[in-house]
Amino acid sequence: MIDFRFPIVLSFYAFLALVWVLWIFRKQYNDLIWNETEPLLKENLFRRLDLNRWAWKHRLTFSGLILLIFAASGPQIGTRVAPVERKGIDLVFAIDVSESMNAQDVKPSRLEKAKFEISQMIDQLQGDRVGLIVFAGSSHLYLPLTSDYEAAQLFLDAIETKMIPSQGTDLSSALRTAISAFHEENEKYKVMVLVTDGEDHEGAAVELVAKASESGIIAHAVGVGTLKGSLIPINDKTGNSSYKRDKKGILITSKLNEAMLTELADAGGGIYTRFNNRQANYREIMQAIDSMEKRSIQTHIYSEFEDRYQSFAMVSLLLLIAGMVLPTRITQIESKDDSFE
């Protein structure tokens, strides 16, 4: 199997082919002229030129140019196997997708802001594995632990508040799913980041985080929203926009439950931060993750094309030098008198 680093260089073969075609036409034209020339004149003109060497001189030069273009295109032939060691942690994001995450006290919305900040975090990961959990009234392991950050970004972009049919905010269910996502038996190198507005409708979240902390899982909490809160926009089946109301028809204001999230982070041995309208809110979480001890997550081998231009370039150089130094002049010419002796 073969590949090229600079395939555009191969286009020079078209120019070389054009030169070769022009040379063929010129040679045929010259042959017509010499066929009409007196043999004695032709012999006198070429008596000091070795036509066989002259032909080989051109062949060597032309072959050298062919290989030179091939070498310049950066041929990569075959594969080589190299060991790769990656160090990092297992990082699981549990993302709230309840309707309250549509509130716009954080622009453009709580969920979109959370997705943007998480995307920034994934961009800075090096060697860590990342997983995604979505939750509302129930939870779902959306993306198992992976080191494919591009796939993680694609899954993250597709998250929306309609993913979980059962509404509400069950942090306990999200935490149980997050804990089960860590399938390694090591007691360290595990981090979960709970991203929510903190409206826990089921309870027991702090107790679960404390129990997970005993098994070596660090839990960070991220609050999305403001203490003042915001109405929750909804769209009906006809596409009309309105705001969510309770059973009595009163508008619901969703407020950030910062006290509960701070308690949750303390129980999980992590930190609490808030995603608000300021930029780069994720940095506190990333600093905490970067300061952790890393482990070798996976040691594997991978195959890649191996550069082979060196040998072609060397042969090309030798052919071009040979074409330059090959003599075509006959140094000793036997006279006709000597030939009859």
**Residue with the two structure tokens 């000597």:** 338
Tell me the average pLDDT across 296-322.
76
DSSP 3-state assignment of 64? helix
Tell me the average pLDDT across 253-281.
88
Whether the CB-CB separation of 111 and 105 falls below 8 Å is answered with no
Q: What is the pLDDT of residues 78-101, one digit of tens each?
A: 766 666 666 778 899 999 998 889
- H-state helical runs in the chain: 12-35, 39-45, 51-72, 110-123, 149-157, 171-181, 205-214, 258-267, 283-290, 309-325, 336-340
**Reading across the β-sheet that carries 90-96, which strands appear in turn?**
139-146, 129-135, 90-96, 190-196, 217-224, 269-275
Domain with CATH 3.40.50.410 in the chain: 90-293
- pLDDT score, position 192: 92
Name 230's Cβ contacts closer than 8 Å, sequence gap at least 6. 103, 104, 105, 253, 254
- H-state helical runs in 158-253: 171-181, 205-214
- Select the highest-mean-pLDDT range: 198-202, 216-220, 300-304: 216-220
CATH number of 90-293: 3.40.50.410
- pLDDT score, position 81: 62
- pLDDT score, position 341: 43
> Is residue 268 scored above 80 in pLDDT?
yes
- pLDDT score, position 26: 82
- H-state helical runs in 73-165: 110-123, 149-157
Average pLDDT of the chain is: 82
Q: What is the pTM of this model?
A: 0.62
Whether the CB-CB separation of 263 and 206 falls below 8 Å is answered with yes
Q: What is the pLDDT of residues 157-177, one digit of tens each?
A: 999 988 888 777 778 888 888
